[in-house]
Amino acid sequence: FKRGLTCLHLTSRVICPAEPVQLQLLGQYRPAAAKMPTECISECLPNPLQRELADSIIRMVPLDDIRILLACGAKVNEPVTQGLRPLHYAVWQRYPEAAMLLLVRGGDVNARDECGYSALHLSAEHGYTELVKLLLLQGARVDYREDTDDPFPRTTLCDEPLRLAIRNGHHEVARVLLENGADPNKRYFFGSEINLVSPLDLDFMRLLLTYGANPDAQDRAGLTPLMKAARLPQGMESVLLLLSFGANVNAQTDERHDFRSVLHYAVLSGNLATVNLLLRQGARVNFPPDYQKATPLQLAVLKGDPELVRMLIDAGADVNASSPIIGTALHVVCADNIPNRLDLLQQLLEAGADPNVLVESDEGPPLRPVLAEYLASNEAQPCPVVVNMLLRYGAKVVMKTQFRDPHGLLNCLQSVAQHEDVFLTLLDAAESFDTCMIRRSQFLTEAQRAVLMQLATCPLPLSQQVRLYLRRLFGNRLPQLAPHLPLPKLLQQYLTYGPCGARAQLAPHLPLPKLLQQYLTYGPCGARAQLAPHLPLPKLLQQYLTYGPCGARAQFG
């Protein structure tokens, strides 16, 4: 044997350890005052028989050899090392006969080592189903950790046997443990059992739910299993499973995750089928007025998915819901690098999104208006089609700073300095000016300042005043109502800022002098001012046509 002992040593100790004759025959006679060699070893080391018993179990020796060691003094409940009992070695080696022998001889089925592992922990961790059943028949506990009031108890060295079986993929062992009373809602530092299972692991999810796991248990991050399943593009089956067990479709996270709902995570996954399923199950698309985080609709816009946006709008999503950080869905779609911008913008505006909505920021002043947000976020290449679309649905063009007027976009005009078509479209739609700030603004080029000052010092044309009146009267419903007004098509498109400037397209085909054509289209930098000096008219009348300096109209009158 190890430790230098032979069979004769063990035999002599068992038969008569104090018999001098036997000791002499063995050549180990000592005076009465001297200690036996085994006694000396015992003082320095743990019981050597315990080590021999453990080694014999590891070598899977016949049971008779184990019985001899037990008869020679090895103990079934005495630790071998680090708190490990012989039963631990029998389970580790998957030696059920030895385990049964130890248990019959009085082995403690619930004995634990220094880390807190029992024999059941080891058998569950390794998936030894037959040993798990044996230990349970002998009275092994299935839960070892005491329940506390802490929803997320501190981490210990040892998890429950059920957790070990699930973590290592031993489905049958987990089922046996649950059948014998294992707690399916045991809580750990990061959540309960079901929170620690992957949403894609349907077998274990179904097993835990069948034995009473809470489908709405929140993990340490505040997420429920349904949220985790919904945020995965391939999580549809898991969502169906959880819903079948009564998971709350409107559960929300805590503040750390912006109080997001299950629908938020489904939208982020981009899975249309999951979103549709949640909506059919009653997931809400709108939130109370005090909810100031991103809505599912805003997240769908951010993803640039027109089908997803249409699905949410059809479900009743509020297109004007706002956040003090990102504004409304229109603010989001006007930000930089949003895919499918035109489709999304058209959907939102047709659904009633207000391009003039004012959103208070966290810092006090309101966010930029939608049109100003678009100009500021797309300085490199502002699109005339987007600008016309916003104008068509009622976006205001106020040539003032936002400090003077919440709808002001004067400070955003620098971004369109190199895009004359966009600049002229904005001039055509301008409804008010601030000459003082136009003179002082550092965000304008000299050419822009000159044109703005020229327009600011002249009254608005009657056609523009009528259009502004109708726009204020009908709001963003004007594009739908204009075709039904008793007006020529040209005026209908003039009212609604037809695509890419309807007046500019139609005016050349009208039976009008060129001057009137350019007057209708507000030719580059003021066509009237350029053409009037060449007309066969008195100078005073020329100045009247061009709103000349110092009030030519007053002089002419």
Does residue 351 surpass a pLDDT of 90? yes
What is the reported pLDDT for 28? Answer: 44
Does residue 354 surpass a pLDDT of 80? yes
Do 429 and 400 meet the contact criterion of CB atoms below 8 Å apart? no
Q: Which two tokens stand for residue 72?
A: 């020679």
Collapsing DSSP to helix, strand or coil, 425 comes out as helix
DSSP at 323:
B
499-545 residue pLDDT tens:
544 455 555 555 555 544 554 554 443 444 555 565 555 665 555 55
Residue 212 has φ and ψ, to the nearest 5°, of 105, 10
pLDDT confidence of 547, banded at 50, 70, 90? low
- Determine the Cα–Cα distance for residues 148 and 152; give it in Å rounded to an integer: 9
435-494 residue pLDDT tens:
898 888 887 888 888 888 888 888 888 888 888 888 888 888 888 888 888 888 888 888
Q: Which among 213, 202, 140 is positioned nearest to 171, based on CA atoms?
A: 202
Q: Provide the 10 A C-beta neighbour count for residue 153.
A: 15
Do 410 and 434 meet the contact criterion of CB atoms below 8 Å apart? yes
CB contact set of 90 (below 8 Å; sequence gap of 6+): 57, 96, 98, 99, 102, 119
366-407 residue pLDDT tens:
899 999 999 988 877 888 899 999 999 999 999 988 888 899
Q: Which helix (H) or strand (E) holds 192?
A: strand 191-192
Collapsing DSSP to helix, strand or coil, 327 comes out as strand
Does residue 320 surpass a pLDDT of 60? yes
63-98 residue pLDDT tens:
999 999 999 999 999 999 999 999 999 999 999 999
Radius of gyration of the chain, Cα coordinates, nearest whole angstrom: 42
Over residues 207-215, the mean pLDDT reads 97
What is the reported pLDDT for 240? Answer: 97
What is the reported pLDDT for 463? Answer: 84
What is the reported pLDDT for 248? Answer: 97
What is the reported pLDDT for 428? Answer: 86
- Determine the Cα–Cα distance for residues 226 and 216; give it in Å rounded to an integer: 8
Which residues are registered as beta bridge partners of 109?
A: none
DSSP at 456:
H
Residue 191 has φ and ψ, to the nearest 5°, of 135, -175
- Determine the Cα–Cα distance for residues 502 and 496; give it in Å rounded to an integer: 9
Q: Which among 202, 199, 219, 286 is positioned nearest to 250, based on CA atoms?
A: 286
Name the percent of the chain lying above pLDDT 70.
Answer: 81
What is the reported pLDDT for 59? Answer: 95
Q: What is the bridge-based pairing of β-strands 432-433 and 187-188?
A: unpaired
- Helix/strand/coil (H, E, C) string of 235-249? CHHHHHHHHHCCCCC
What is the reported pLDDT for 378? Answer: 83
Q: Which among 294, 303, 233, 223 is positioned nearest to 264, based on CA atoms?
A: 294
What is the residue-averaged pLDDT of the chain?
A: 83
- Determine the Cα–Cα distance for residues 469 and 427; give it in Å rounded to an integer: 17
What is the reported pLDDT for 328? Answer: 94
Over residues 218-245, the mean pLDDT reads 95
What is the reported pLDDT for 289? Answer: 83
Residue 377 has φ and ψ, to the nearest 5°, of -90, -10
Residue 408 has φ and ψ, to the nearest 5°, of -65, 140
Question: Which one has a higher pLDDT value, 366 or 178?
Answer: 178
Alpha helices in 72-157 (DSSP H): 86-92, 96-104, 119-126, 129-137
- Determine the Cα–Cα distance for residues 133 and 91; give it in Å rounded to an integer: 12
Q: Which helix (H) or strand (E) holds 68?
A: helix 63-71
Which range (24-28, 77-81, 187-191, 396-400) has the least confidence?
Answer: 24-28
